[in-house]
Chains A and B, each alone.
Chain A
């Protein structure tokens, strides 16, 4: 049964991975990558690591890939055109590296099968949340804390990059609820280069256009 599930999910993972590389449309590639992550999570479940599986789905499939899909949708990236292959010299190197990888995998499979059954002592609580938590906060406390500092650095870096330069000049403050309207939208007679109207309410717009006291059309006329 476990072997059957392994073959199913491993096949799905490999198929999705190949599809991810082969797709021309970036969104299809992203969807394939989500498929890879979810198949891997299923594999973790069959390997008695439910916590890792859940975290895999929440972090990778649920958060990171949503952002990737979001960006692809925002930019509306078109299907990439097939360019003539540059860096042709890298192809033999890639083939060589791939063959080394396959050799390694074959080596491991051969020796695992050749060696006697591995001693599986006391593995009942290995994948459980409490044992992972206890491990993180005792034996592996220092790496854990260093990782959190690393993540903090990433956040600080992202904010620094976002604040430097950017789309708006530094003296402009964006206030939610503020409306910026081109003047010729409101006033057909205005010169096109007249400064835009920045206002919160209809009354402010009227004041800037010099239309105070003009009766409104509609209910409050």
Chain B
């Protein structure tokens, strides 16, 4: 009975996290269209509901009622499997991100008790879990390209697998600096370590990791196939790349997977580099942490949209040489520098001198 209650609570937590993330993802799509419109000197969708607020709902209805076309010569099973893999792999990581600190209630709730954790599950290797699940997401795109039996799709799928394998390496190496400093792979502990004056001075991005942050940011944009690294779906060359032959809800699944991926890499960046839920007055009012966390994630999403409105696309050989000849060596240098500083104890000395990573005083 006790076990069943625990499973039920976990499922409720997953459902809640899923709902929050999916709602924000739907509005990211709307925000992208409005912001891009603003950048390009036009209005963007503003007809459905006040200021276009109900546009995501209208889009969803449209996707559901569109005709679902399956190419005659496609490999049926894989063709159906690919969008499922892409979406599931994208959604699976949201359970490990700490959305906020534990919230203590003055009274007891039935079944839950008086402490509500703002993370669905905590475990020893959360960071590795995130990297592993993300790397499985490649199959969604690669198999979609292969099973469509269309040369543009195949080219898009091949490009995307080559790109994702290359940038995964830089992404993982860029994170090693943070792991070296934190000494743990548990995301909750990494966030807790970043508390400091006003919840800001302890952020990892300020502590030896600006280079790691930059590498992670660039590699994450490439991992999610966004501008300027959106070669798998470069419409000037490949029609729509790997999802050329997909329509209706199956296309919507790929679309959703891309935006959920954007959301999860932003959550990881926030957690590891920008202090997660840390911010002013979180110590007194823990629920503020949820808003800080989501606020930082939304800043990242805005950065994505901004880049899309600003930058042109890379050429494929530029993409590859940038990944292998610049990002990977830079990440290796970052590891050596971080390891040296950790070993010399210089970093700990400065932090202890100014109490930068501990919560001090009433503002902590």
Contacts and interface: CB of A to CB of B under 8 A. Distances in A.
Interface stretch (A66-74, A92-100, A181-189, A204-212): A66-74
Main secondary structure of the interface of B (DSSP, over half): helix
Contacts of A128: 124
B321 interface: yes
Nearest to B142: A69
A28 B317 CA distance: 31
Given A62-B134, A66-B139, 16 more contacts: A28-B77, A28-B78, A50-B123, A50-B125, A57-B132, A57-B133, A58-B132, A61-B136, A62-B131, A63-B165, A69-B161, A70-B158, A73-B145, A129-B125, A129-B128, A176-B318
Nearest to B164: A66
Contacts of B168: 62-63
A38 B168 CA distance: 19
Query: Which 10 pairs across A and B sit closest by C-beta, in order of nearness?
Result: A62-B135, A54-B128, A57-B132, A176-B317, A58-B132, A54-B125, A50-B125, A73-B146, A70-B161, A54-B132
Contacts, number: 87
Interface string A15-52: 00000000000011001001000100100000000110
Contacts of B146: 27, 69, 73
A123 to B, nearest CB: 14
A128 B125 CA distance: 8
Interface of A: 1, 27-28, 31, 34, 38, 41, 50-51, 53-55, 57-58, 61-63, 66-67, 69-70, 73-74, 127-129, 176-177
Contacts of B184: 129
A31 B123 CA distance: 28
B129 interface: yes
B202 to A, nearest CB: 22
A58 B321 contact: no
B154 interface: yes
B57 to A, nearest CB: 35
Given A67-B165, A73-B154, A176-B317, A62 B128 contact: no
A38 B88 CA distance: 14
A1 B142 CA distance: 35
A35 to B, nearest CB: 11
B143 A69 contact: yes
B103 interface: no
A62 B3 contact: no
Contact of A62 (B125, B138, B158): B138
Contact of A66 (B78, B135, B154, B318): B135
B129 A69 contact: no
Nearest to A58: B132
A176 B146 CA distance: 27
B78 A63 contact: no
B157 interface: yes
B211 interface: no
Contacts of A34: 136, 139
